[in-house]
Structure formats: C-alpha cells, structure tokens
C-alpha cells in the first residue's frame, strides 16, 4: 500500500468525531492507501484523543496506519500531505471573560489561531501539501493561513462543499428528483449567508435547473435563503451546529481535489482568486473548479452570469473585502 500523512485540527470536536473514521477506512483516500493520522487539539482537551485513538483502532480498518495526538501544531503538521483545519473558536464562546458574538471579534480571535497554523504548515508540512480550512470564518481564516504559510507550492482551500450539498439537496427536493441528478453546482464567494448558490448554471439531468424547476419566484426569493440559512436552521432544530454533514463535505472536497473531475461537471471550493470573474486577486473566493487528479486545480472559465447573479456575487465580494480589512494587520 502507498501511504499518506493526514493532519486534523479540532480533533476532539463533533465534526472530527464523524470525520476521523472515514479518513482511515479507505473511503477518502482509496482502499490501497494507508493513512497515517495526526490529531491536533488544544492542551485542555488533548487527553480526550486517547479514547478516540482507541476507537479508531477498534474499527479495524486495513487502511489505518499510525495514529497519534498532540497539542503542538508544529509537530502535528510535520510532513503532512493533507492538513484539515477543522478547529476554530465558534460564536458564543467566552474567551478571557468576553463572549464572542460579533463577526469582527470572531475574525480577530481566529485570525490569531490561523496565523500560527499557517506558519506551521508553511514550515513543517510537505512542500506540495494541500490544506482545507473548515473552521469559520473559513475564507478569511484561509486567507490568513495561506499568507502566513509563505509557501506558494502549497494549495489552500476553504470549504464550500457543505453549502453545495445543501444547494443540490434543495434543488432536488423542489424538482422531485434524486440528488445524484444535480450537477455543476457553484457556491460563489464567502462561506456565510452572503454566499451565492448558483441555480442558473446548475443542471438537473443535464438540463438547466432553473428550466426544470420553472419557478422564478421560488428560485430568487425562497431557494437562496433556504441554502444561505440552512446552518442556522440545523442549529435551531438540533441545538448544535452541523457535524455529520460538515464531515461529509470535508471528504467530498478531498476526493474532488485528489481525483479527476468529470468532463461535464465541476466542484465547488474557495481558493485564492486570480482575478477571474472580476473578483479581487488574492481573496479566498468560492469558485467552480476542476482537478486533473495530479494536484492541478483550475477555475472554470466563461460561465455566463446574469444580472441577478452578478448582483449577488458583488455582495459577497464586498463582505470578503470587509473581512480582509478587519484583519489587514495579520496579512503583513
């Protein structure tokens, strides 16, 4: 078997609990790949990972390689091929006596975390490592991490696959079809309520989703809020944020990056803008992407955007620029 080194931060959290077994089972990296897994946590909870390691061993997967845990990010990302940055400080947590409620506070406190993680990844992970940021605010966390890594050969992504899966599910439900019939979904912009889940370029059985559904009012006034507010709806319903679906989206992203994209489809993730679609260069922005399966990721070009789409994309660009401005001192 070939081997791959994978690092997961926030490894004692709920998302990771759903994610970790699927990383070492052969599902994510293939049945012929042995996965050496390093789990990273903060000092206060890192001991919990001893039990997680016991469970992972007890799963008995043939693809399980070495399993280890640490509270040292430098040690955790050393020689990593894939770094999955799941951990972040969520809204509502009390830090130094202050409850983190405002997005500006969230940006600042996580900015400090991703400054350190970015430096560690740049210095200790493999030269061609791939990094997926899951912890929110994911796009700007990825921007900070990528900037601080100072390694142009490493590929940084922010996750939008959860939004894409939610968007596909809503289209499938409305069209009364299986979700596997929905393709070519793009989440433009930020992983936030300003995201634009593009229904006009999505397809249902190869036909424009908008044509199949044929309900302009639903598309423009109901569909977007359904997708944009789905995370909040999950929290309201279960009393906790998405975990299993978020873990699944991590796996979807890794597989999309590592495998050849079908000629008639693309996948959605946020990467550093090269100026495509008039997005300011350098912003970590959700795009339609294709992979050659060998580490080359390309933004799909020449997708037609109507005035409605352009107006929504403008909003999410403005939000990302505002977030960037709020952490500008961390980007130098």
Three-state SS for 300?
coil
- For the segment 220-231, the average pLDDT, to the nearest whole number, is 94
Is 191 an active-site residue?
A: yes
Percent of the chain that is helix, strand, coil (3-state, to 5): 45, 20, 35
Q: What contacts 80, CB < 8 A, 6 or more positions away?
A: 5, 6, 7, 38, 121, 124, 125, 126, 129
How high is the mean pLDDT of the chain? 96
Q: Which of 130, 148, 191, 290 is catalytic?
A: 191
In the chain, what's the furthest Cα-to-Cα distance?
54
Whether pLDDT at 145 is above 90: yes
- For the segment 135-152, the average pLDDT, to the nearest whole number, is 96
Q: How far is CA 211 from CA 171, 182, 205, in A?
A: 12, 13, 11
- For the segment 226-245, the average pLDDT, to the nearest whole number, is 92
pLDDT, tens digit, for every residue of 177-224? 999 999 999 999 999 999 999 999 999 999 999 999 999 999 999 999
Q: What is the pLDDT of residue 89?
A: 85
**Host H or E run for residue 4:** strand 2-9
Whether pLDDT at 12 is above 90: yes
Percentage with pLDDT > 90 across the chain? 91
- For the segment 30-57, the average pLDDT, to the nearest whole number, is 97
Query: Could you give the domains of the chain?
Result: 2-158 (3.40.50.720), 161-326 (3.90.110.10)
Q: How far is CA 171 from CA 43, 110, 189, in A?
A: 43, 33, 20
Q: How far is CA 246 from CA 17, 50, 81, 108, 251, in A?
A: 11, 23, 21, 23, 9
Q: What is the pLDDT of residue 94?
A: 76
- For the segment 33-39, the average pLDDT, to the nearest whole number, is 98
pLDDT level of residue 161 (50, 70, 90 thresholds) = very high
83 close to 73: Cβ distance less than 8 angstroms: no
pLDDT, tens digit, for every residue of 89-117? 887 777 777 777 677 788 999 999 999 99
pTM: 0.97
> Which residue bears the tokens 């940006």?
107
Whether pLDDT at 294 is above 90: yes
121 close to 91: Cβ distance less than 8 angstroms: no
Tell me which of 90 and 331 has the higher pLDDT: 331
* 208: exposed, middle or buried (Cβ count in 10 Å: 0-12, 13-18, 19+): middle
* 201: exposed, middle or buried (Cβ count in 10 Å: 0-12, 13-18, 19+): buried
- For the segment 124-144, the average pLDDT, to the nearest whole number, is 97
pLDDT, tens digit, for every residue of 254-274? 999 999 999 999 999 999 999
11 close to 49: Cβ distance less than 8 angstroms: yes
Backbone angles phi, psi at 312, to 5 degrees: -70, -40
Whether pLDDT at 240 is above 90: no
Q: What is the pLDDT of residue 244?
A: 96
CA 279 from chain center: how many Å? 19
Q: How far is CA 305 from CA 200, 310, 314, in A?
A: 8, 6, 12
Q: What contacts 38, CB < 8 A, 6 or more positions away?
A: 5, 6, 7, 8, 68, 69, 70, 75, 76, 77, 78, 80
- For the segment 37-63, the average pLDDT, to the nearest whole number, is 97
CB atoms within 10 A of CB 290: 18
């Amino acid at each position: 078997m070939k081997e791959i080194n994978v690092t997961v931060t926030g490894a004692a959290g709920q998302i990771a609990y759903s994610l970790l077994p699927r990383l070492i089972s052969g599902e994510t990296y293939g049945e012929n790949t042995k996965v050496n897994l390093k789990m990273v946590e903060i000092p206060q909870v890192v001991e919990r990972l001893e039990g997680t390691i016991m469970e992972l061993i007890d799963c008995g997967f043939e693809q399980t390689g070495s399993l280890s845990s640490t509270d040292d990010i430098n040690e955790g990302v050393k020689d990593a091929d894939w770094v999955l940055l799941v951990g972040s400080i969520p809204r509502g947590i009390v830090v130094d006596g202050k409850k983190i409620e405002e997005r500006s506070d969230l940006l600042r406190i996580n900015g400090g975390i991703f400054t350190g993680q970015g430096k560690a990844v740049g210095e200790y992970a493999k030269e061609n490592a791939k990094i997926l940021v899951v912890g929110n605010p994911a796009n700007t966390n990825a921007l900070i991490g990528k900037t601080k890594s100072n390694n142009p050969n490493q590929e940084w992504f922010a996750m939008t696959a959860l939004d894409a899966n939610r968007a596909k599910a809503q289209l499938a439900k409305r069209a009364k079809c299986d979700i596997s019939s929905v393709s070519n979904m793009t989440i433009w912009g930020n992983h936030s309520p300003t995201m634009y889940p593009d229904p006009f370029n999505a397809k249902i059985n190869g036909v424009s989703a908008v044509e199949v559904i044929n309900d302009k009012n639903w598309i423009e006034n109901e569909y977007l809020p359904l997708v944009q507010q789905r995370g909040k709806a999950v929290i309201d319903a279960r009393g906790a944020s998405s975990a299993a679906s978020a873990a699944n989206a991590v796996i979807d992203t890794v597989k999309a990056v590592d495998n050849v994209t079908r000629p008639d489809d693309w996948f959605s993730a946020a990467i550093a803008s090269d100026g495509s679609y008039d997005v300011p260069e350098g912003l970590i922005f959700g795009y339609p992407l294709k992979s050659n399966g060998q580490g080359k990721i390309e933004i799909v070009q020449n997708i037609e955007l109507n005035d409605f789409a352009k107006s929504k994309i403008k909003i999410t660009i403005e939000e990302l620029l505002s977030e960037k401005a709020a952490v500008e001192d961390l980007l130098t």
